[in-house]
Structure 1
Amino acid sequence: MTVGSAPSIPHYQPPPPTKQQLDYADLAIIDLAKAATPEGRAELAGLARDAMRDIGFFYIVNHGLSPHETERVFDIADVPFSHVSDKEKLAYTGNILETGTDQGYKPRQYWNIDGGVKDQVENYVINRDVTKRQHPEALRPFLPELSNFARKNHDILHTVLRLLAIGLEIPEDTFVNQHGWDADGETYVRFMKYYPRTAEEEEKSKQVWLKGHTDFGTITILWSQPVSALQILSPDGEWRWLRHIDNALVINAGDCMEFISGGFYKATIHRVIQPPEDQRGYTRLGVFYFCNPDNDVVLETVSGSSVLERLGIKRSFIDDDTPTAGTWLRGRIAAYGKTQLSQGQQKGVEEEVLNGAVVRHYN
């Protein structure tokens, strides 16, 4: 990803992986190097289909970035948090509630978590077109690298979308055509930094840092990092940890993928909790690529899938009320962590209704 004489940058040293024995989720590992040929994609499509249908998460290895290049990305990811003053951050803070977009900074203590406790997560979000907004001065020298990084992630996204289309027995580019690089949309790089909380905050929130939720878009690409805190709700109803794999990606489906696949691919519920004891006190730096359909894509179930025809197509919306991706995403982004939730029928589940769909939060 880096070329020539890239600007120098302080090295971000990640914490060591946990040594505690945790109950890890058993996820498929997809070798993306095999996707270069039709035969390889056909093989991987079966793995991706089963993983995304049964669990909603899988790993990717051999994605095209070397360990050194990935390390460089994390060095850059720490810049907006550690090398920008609080005063300058204010100038680049997004108006999430009014705009329904979270580009720019999201400050700590913005989201409501539980028990009167707010989050300790700081975000910096960059549209895949890095020129759409101004950025803090310290980050500007790295914008060419971030643009290249976003493009690389988008290529990975398109490969994943092709595999999932093959799994539904529809043309390979069906989902790719809904996720253009140059289209108007909310696909972006997100850097997240979680800060340790007080013992009182941990007790009041039951050690939950982000409640169980589904992501809003189609696919989320998470660059694996060593602080254990992410858990998924497994099909048997148990919360299980995500294992860190060096230089691997964690892929999961979101709401929009569940909508357009007729419920075949699951938007899996996941949460973030207090790390294991030997990692407490560290910050947790995350690098993500949140992938959403183009804003004008109507979130209707894809047509022409013999798989869905055999199983029975499930529609999430009444046809006339089906929102576009832009409408859905703006509503979800604006509401997250800010709206008053109501108690659902299931214990520990809170609900809200957005665009006619029930959105659930798990605690």
Structure 2
Amino acid sequence: MAPIAIETPAEAAAQVPDPAEKVLIKPWTRPPLTAETLDYAELPKIDLSRFDEPGGKQELAKQLYDAVTRVGFWSVVNTGIDDERVLRQFSIGNAFFKEPLEEKRRFPCNFADGEYFGYRENSRWVGDTGIKENIEMLNIPKAIPAYESVGRHRIVEQNRAEIDAFHRELWDKVIRKLFVLIAIILELPENYLVDAHAYGEESDDHLRYMIYNVRTQDEWDRTQAYSKGGHTDFGSLTLLFSQHIAGLQIRTPEGDWKYVSPVDGGITCNAADTLTFLTNGFIKSTVHRVVTPPRDQMATARLGLLYFSRPGARTAMRTVPSPLLERLGLVRPEDRDPDAPVVFGTDYVRARVRDVHHKAVLDRREGTSFEFKGLKVQNYYA
């Protein structure tokens, strides 16, 4: 019997890249659009350049109303964020995913505690298909003192000033303005939702680099035969920068699945579960999914750049005191009771992350629900 090779500590250490070694960031460009004809959803387009015009916020809120209450998805354009800076972030993300696995694994997501900061490896099995997920991601927290102790990979440390500035600018120029518009819709003070998601306060907001690695047609067929239900997002708002590989679909109010098209110079946005909780169902958290890319794009990995806004650690998960919701009968007696038990934003989001991600197999959940201290949400994963 041959002796078992045992890796020595020195040999193991040799596998980990030198943190001081500069990582080369090669420019990344968007791949060509698909030539296939796809059935795209018609989504509202919100021009944020009008935000500071006299009456601009009110007009944009009117345009956004149908998107947040019926469709759940929309796009924003003219954000003031230069596309070269966006492409630079894609380039950093692309370089990270080419790093040795030992480096990427240095700071994994702590799913046991429901924390999403760090690297998520494509290690889970998709049910009984014999195929693993093809998703990898790196989630970077806000650049505030509360998260100074969060481990950062070498590529993040080496480009930290640039990443942090982009992180903050995206919140200021897009997230903040969207919360103001939604507050106007709800007839709340303009900064009500901004304060509930304040950048300087603790929350599980993160900038995300994501990649869907290439699969064969057979692998796509087998995994999608297992899971067709899509999912909703855990937080409040999600921003997705256009990257040209088709695959994202939303379930329309009519129950049809339609593709979401890339937006030149724009960002695709969607409302998520905590905004639904905060408005007692008034704001729609739309079910969406990623499906097999068109044949002319299947050989290209689908690189993603996203931002996830999540409620603050001290934000109470109860219906907001909106005059509009009052008139619609959506504010319940317990929402008016200051002594009623309440769940806070980060506690809820982390419980949901634990429930979905702290496992080795992605299980089938269609038709089930998740409940945490009285907050209940329909499950769509698998």
TM above 0.5, yes or no, is yes
Name the Cα RMSD after superposition.
2.5
Task: Tell me the CA shift for residue 207 of structure 1.
Answer: 6.1
Structure 1 position 329 matched with structure 2 position 349: yes
Structure 1 position 104 matched with structure 2 position 118: yes
Q: Taking structure 1 as the reference length, what is the TM-score of the superposition? A: 0.89
In structure 2, stretches of 5+ residues that fail to align are 1-22
Task: Tell me the CA shift for residue 51 of structure 1.
Answer: 0.9
Q: Is the contact between residue 208 and residue 274 of structure 1 (CA under 8 Å) also seen in structure 2?
A: no
Structure 1 residues 8 and 118 mapped into 2: Cα distance closer, same or farther (>3 Å)?
A: closer
Task: Tell me the CA shift for residue 79 of structure 1.
Answer: 2.3
Quick one: distance in 1 between partners of 2:207 and 2:117?
A: 9
Q: Is the contact between residue 116 and residue 204 of structure 1 (CA under 8 Å) also seen in structure 2?
A: no
Structure 1 position 36 matched with structure 2 position 52: yes
| Corresponding residue of 1:232 | 250
After superposition, the C-alpha distances for 1:76-100 in whole angstroms (9 at most, x for unaligned) are 2212211x2111122121221x121
Q: In structure 2, the residue corresponding to 1:91 is in which secondary structure?
A: coil
| Corresponding residue of 1:93 | 108
Structure 1 position 119 matched with structure 2 position 136: no
The 10-residue stretch of structure 1 (129-138 or 73-82) with the greater mean CA deviation from structure 2: 129-138
Quick one: distance in 1 between partners of 2:332 and 2:211?
A: 36
Structure 1 position 20 matched with structure 2 position 39: no
Task: Tell me the CA shift for residue 220 of structure 1.
Answer: 0.7
Structure 1 position 179 matched with structure 2 position 207: no
Structure 1 residues 71 and 256 mapped into 2: Cα distance closer, same or farther (>3 Å)?
A: same
Q: In structure 2, the residue corresponding to 1:171 is in which secondary structure?
A: coil
Letter of the 2:118 partner, please give it. Answer: G
Q: Is the contact between residue 32 and residue 62 of structure 1 (CA under 8 Å) also seen in structure 2?
A: yes
Partner of residue 26 from structure 2, selected from 10, 13, 20: 10
Q: Taking structure 2 as the reference length, what is the TM-score of the superposition? A: 0.85
Task: Tell me the CA shift for residue 324 of structure 1.
Answer: 0.8
Bigger Rg, which one: 2
Letter of the 2:106 partner, please give it. Answer: A
Quick one: distance in 1 between partners of 2:263 and 2:235?
A: 24
Q: In structure 2, the residue corresponding to 1:134 is in which secondary structure?
A: coil
Q: Is the contact between residue 79 and residue 139 of structure 1 (CA under 8 Å) also seen in structure 2?
A: no
| Corresponding residue of 2:7 | none
Q: In structure 1, the residue corresponding to 2:160 is in which secondary structure?
A: helix
| Corresponding residue of 1:50 | 66
Higher strand fraction (1 or 2): 1
Task: Tell me the CA shift for residue 204 of structure 1.
Answer: 1.9
Q: In structure 1, the residue corresponding to 2:167 is in which secondary structure?
A: helix
Quick one: distance in 2 between partners of 1:290 and 1:341?
A: 22
Task: Tell me the CA shift for residue 133 of structure 1.
Answer: 2.1
The 10-residue stretch of structure 1 (229-238 or 330-339) with the greater mean CA deviation from structure 2: 330-339
After superposition, the C-alpha distances for 1:32-85 in whole angstroms (9 at most, x for unaligned) are 000013500000001112211010010000011122222112112212211x21
The 10-residue stretch of structure 1 (161-170 or 319-328) with the greater mean CA deviation from structure 2: 319-328
Letter of the 1:287 partner, please give it. Answer: L
Letter of the 1:89 partner, please give it. Answer: K
Task: Tell me the CA shift for residue 114 of structure 1.
Answer: 6.8
Task: Tell me the CA shift for residue 209 of structure 1.
Answer: 7.7
Structure 1 residues 200 and 182 mapped into 2: Cα distance closer, same or farther (>3 Å)?
A: same
Letter of the 1:29 partner, please give it. Answer: K
Matched residues, number? 351
Spell out the pairing of 1:1-363 with structure 2 (5 A cutoff). 9-82=25-98, 84-96=99-111, 98-110=112-124, 112=126, 115=129, 117-129=131-143, 131-155=148-172, 156-206=174-224, 211-303=229-321, 305-313=322-330, 320-338=340-358, 349-356=367-374, 357-361=376-380
Structure 1 residues 38 and 173 mapped into 2: Cα distance closer, same or farther (>3 Å)?
A: farther
Letter of the 1:309 partner, please give it. Answer: E
Q: Is the contact between residue 124 and residue 362 of structure 2 (CA under 8 Å) also seen in structure 1?
A: no
Structure 1 residues 355 and 202 mapped into 2: Cα distance closer, same or farther (>3 Å)?
A: farther
In structure 1, stretches of 5+ residues that fail to align are 1-6
Percent of aligned pairs with the same residue? 32
Letter of the 1:104 partner, please give it. Answer: G
Letter of the 1:55 partner, please give it. Answer: V
Q: Is the contact between residue 343 and residue 351 of structure 1 (CA under 8 Å) also seen in structure 2?
A: no
After superposition, the C-alpha distances for 1:259-304 in whole angstroms (9 at most, x for unaligned) are 112211111111111111111011011111100111111110001x
